[in-house]
Amino acid sequence: MPAELIEIEEARRLVVERVSPLPAEQVPLREALGRVLAVEVGAADPVPGFDNSAMDGFAVRAADTASASGEEPVTLDVVDESRAGRPAERPVGPGEAILISTGAMVPEGADSVVRVEDTSSRDGRVEIGVAVGKGRNVRRAGEDVRSGEAVVGSGTVLGPAELGVIAAVGRDAVECTRRPMVCVLTTGDELHEPGKPLGPGGVRNSNAHSVPALVERAGGEVVRVETVPDEPTATRGAIERALDSDVVVICGGVSVGEHDHVRGALAELGVEEAFWGVALRPGKPTAFGTHPDGALVFGLPGNPVSAMVTFMLIARPAIEALLGSNPGRQRATAILDEDYAKKPGRAHAVRCRLELAEDGWHARTTGEQGSHVLTSMLGADALALIPTDSGSVSTGERVEIELLP
């Protein structure tokens, strides 16, 4: 291992400073969920586009209702109807009312709406039992979005609300950054796909499923998942083929063992190493470098928890930077509800379950924290990040947490 392990924050900085956002492409709105907006969306027209009724009732001139009460209602002539999508054909004159539905255009001449509950109608006339002020039950044009207003900024990850707002301003397609193409390589002679028989010493290839899933969650597009034997030529060949993608994520074989060939292969392929070795547990033998043709290459430890943790803490920021998204890290603090033993020297990423109490969030570990105990990821809400220099943490102490995707 190198003499000097770098901090998680330093690793992230070294990654992100080597990344520039990918170009934008036009995406139909129906396919834009989870995509990152490259160009802000503005509204050409106001929303709502016209003054409309907030209630089912009667559009009136407020002045006509001034003397109305339950005992002495005012009677108006009902001269037309305004329905949603079908405006009235004539204006409201003095002494007149127009039957109106929720969302329908307020007719010319009217300035307020009396709820149907405050009226009774018969023979083409309506009795109004309350006085309404000007503007009562009217939603004004532009109350939601003003004409020319920017509604969704660039860098936003498009969720259900954004898609709705973009549709509301009339856009059926948006400019999004292209999704980064990601190749995932898992290394190890011991690896077997689930569903296949497991020979002596065989291990299920869990990273080939958890890591691509993390890539997709981060907004990347998994173009290939390949398993590579512990052999130098095969390792170099697989990495070389993967270098045409934007990001290469290699799991395992990155350490210093006799059968770890990743670092050697990367050097031979001209990948410029930015770092190797992070002061993190799990996840010390984590490497990152760039190929002159542009690919970002991550070498993650093979242990299933380490691979997931280092992907989330160190590789995911690269995908976000390629997407030009700025979700910010989902950082918070929580009160630890158990003692946690630790020696200074490396930061620990502890899988935790969170619970909300009166004094805020509380964290409890998911149990045994070995880097091979993949079930410790099940039900984990957050990683508690115990700093490098920290020793053991006691029950009741506040710790920093990073929420999991």
Contacts 24+ apart (CB under 8 A), 129-133: 129/68, 129/69, 129/70, 129/73, 130/65, 130/68, 130/69, 130/70, 131/62, 131/65, 131/66, 131/67, 131/68, 131/69, 132/60, 132/62, 132/65, 133/62
User: How many other CB atoms are there within 10 angstroms of residue 66's CB atom?
Assistant: 11
Of 59 and 208, which has the nearer Cβ to ligand AMP?
208
Please provide residue 23's backbone torsions phi and psi, each rounded to the nearest 5 degrees: -65, 165
Binder of residue 301, out of Mg ion, ligand AMP, none (CB less than 5 to 8 A by kind)? ligand AMP
- Count of positions on this chain that bind ligand AMP (CB under 6 A): 19
> What 8-state DSSP symbol labels residue 279?
S
Partner whose binding site includes residue 147, from Mg ion, ligand AMP, none (CB under 5 to 8 Å by kind): none
Of 82, 119, 207, 245, which lies in the binding site for ligand AMP, with binding defined by CB under 6 A?
207
Which does residue 5 bind out of ligand AMP, Mg ion, none, counting CB within 5 to 8 angstroms by kind? Answer: none
Is residue 259 within 8 Å of residue 188, measured between CB atoms?
no
Q: How far is the CB of 251 from Mg ion (least distance, A)?
A: 9
Reference 294, options 40, 7, 5, 21; nearest CA is 21
CB of 262 to Mg ion, least distance (A): 9
CB of 307 to ligand AMP, least distance (A): 7
State the nearest-atom distance from the C-beta of 303 to ligand AMP, in Å: 4
Q: How far apart (Å, rounded) are the C-alpha atoms in residues 117 and 229?
A: 76
d(CA 337, CA 329): 23
Kindly tell me which of 129 and 283 has the beta carbon lying closer to Mg ion: 283
Binding track over 137-176 against ligand AMP, x by CB under 6 A: ----------------------------------------
Give, as ranges, the residues between 177 and 206 that touch ligand AMP (CB under 6 A). 186-188, 190-191, 203, 205-206
* CB neighbour class for 49 (10 Å; exposed up to 12, middle 13-18, buried from 19): middle
| The one among 65, 235, 255, 310 contacting ligand AMP by CB under 6 A | 255
The answer to whether 301 contacts ligand AMP (rule: CB under 6 A) is yes
Q: Does 252 bind Mg ion (CB under 5 A)?
A: yes
Instruction: Considering the complex, state which of residue 33 and residue 267 has its C-beta at the smaller distance from ligand AMP.
Output: 267
Q: Which is nearer to ligand AMP, 178 or 284 (CB)?
A: 284
The string of DSSP letters for 71-114 reads SS-EEEEEEEEEBTTB--SS---TTEEEEE-TTPBPPTT--EEE
Comparing every residue's Cβ against ligand AMP, the nearest one is 302
Both ends of the chain: CA-CA distance in Å? 30
Q: Which two tokens stand for residue 27?
A: 């995406």
Per-residue binding string, ligand AMP, 61-100, x by CB under 6 A, is ----------------------------------------
Say if residue 48 is preceded by a cis peptide, omega within 30 of 0: yes
Q: Which of 21, 73, 107, 188 binds Mg ion (CB under 5 A)?
A: 188
Would you tell me which residues interact with ligand AMP (CB under 6 A)? 186-188, 190-191, 203, 205-208, 251-253, 255, 257, 301-304
